């Protein structure tokens, strides 16, 4: 018989833990082996029982979800952790990924999404819904672009020519062309129009900014 997926729930709200516990108990391939209400408890429990998957609330006392995830991954590189949050802010999501989370699910999502995330993560995969994956892609791109390249991209989106950008940024047209060339390469696009489309679509540049 196939071994069940051993799961640890980490959340400081008792009602949330109860709801997750009931959902997990209803799945034949899941086995809830423990609960923790803060980061310190989660670390102690993991060291003793080493569950297959941890569902980790982002906002918990002590080390928060991202910090606890980083600590677990530092000690147990193969730890598989799905972070849960009522927020979908880019910074929180980025912190989760940087900490080593294998998945990120909004608490507003249907329970089926979390159950799927647990199964995907357990097999060694990652689970980030499309909207969240797009935010991660935008953040990764922004981190790869220099401040000057971001400025140039923002002006491209606004429809300015190289000459206008050079005047606004107080640099030569040759320097502007270099920044734009580097930006196109990093975005993996062929021209300014495609760069503008990608920048807005991915949320790298916001039209109301």
Whole-structure pTM over 0.85, yes or no? Answer: no
Name the band, by pLDDT with cuts 50, 70 and 90, for residue 92.
Answer: confident
pLDDT of residue 39: 94
Average pLDDT, the chain: 90
Q: Residue 79 and residue 137: Cα distance in Å, rounded? A: 24
- Asked: is 5-128 a CATH 3.40.50.2300 domain? The reply is yes
36 closest CA partner among 11, 61, 13 = 11
pLDDT of residue 132: 77
pLDDT of residue 90: 66
Give first-to-last CA distance, the chain, whole Å.
56
For the domain spanning 145-201, the CATH number is: 1.10.10.10
- Each residue of 138-168: pLDDT tens digit? 777 777 888 899 899 999 999 999 999 999 9
Domain boundary assignment for the chain: 5-128, 145-201
Mean pLDDT, residues 44-72: 94
Distances (CA, A) of 163 to 139, 151, 157: 28, 14, 15
**pLDDT at position 98 over 90:** no
Inter-residue contact 79 to 52 (CB < 8 Å): no
Residue 139 DSSP symbol: H
Helical pair 90-99 and 130-144, crossing angle rounded to 10 deg: 80
The 3-state DSSP class for residue 100 equals coil
The 3-state DSSP class for residue 82 equals strand
Burial of residue 67 (number of CB atoms within 10 Å: 0-12, 13-18, 19+) = middle
**pLDDT at position 209 over 60:** no
Q: Residue 28 and residue 5: Cα distance in Å, rounded? A: 9
**pLDDT at position 198 over 90:** no
Helix, strand, coil % in the chain, rounded to nearest 5: 55, 15, 30
Burial of residue 21 (number of CB atoms within 10 Å: 0-12, 13-18, 19+) = middle
- Each residue of 126-141: pLDDT tens digit? 998 877 777 777 777 7
Distances (CA, A) of 169 to 102, 157, 180, 182, 208: 40, 15, 13, 17, 20
């Amino acid at each position: 018989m196939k071994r069940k997926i051993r799961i640890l729930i980490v959340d400081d709200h008792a009602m949330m833990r109860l709801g997750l516990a009931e959902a997990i108990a209803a799945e034949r391939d899941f086995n809830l082996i423990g609960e923790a209400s803060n980061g310190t408890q989660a670390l102690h429990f993991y060291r003793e029982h080493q569950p297959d998957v941890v569902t980790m609330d982002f906002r918990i006392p002590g080390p928060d979800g991202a910090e606890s995830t980083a600590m677990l991954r530092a000690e147990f590189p193969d730890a598989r952790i799905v972070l849960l949050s009522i927020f979908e802010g880019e910074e929180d999501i980025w912190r989760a990924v940087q900490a080593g989370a294998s998945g990120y699910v909004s608490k507003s999502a249907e329970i089926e999404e979390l159950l799927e995330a647990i199964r995907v993560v357990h097999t060694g995969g990652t689970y980030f819904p499309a909207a969240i994956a797009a935010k991660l892609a935008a953040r990764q791109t922004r981190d790869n672009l220099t401040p000057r390249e971001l400025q140039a991209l923002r002006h491209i989106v606004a429809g300015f020519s190289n000459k206008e950008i050079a005047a606004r940024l107080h640099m030569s047209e040759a320097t502007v062309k270099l920044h734009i060339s580097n930006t196109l390469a990093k975005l993996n696009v062929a021209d300014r129009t495609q760069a503008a489309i990608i920048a807005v679509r991915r949320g790298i540049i916001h039209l109301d900014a």
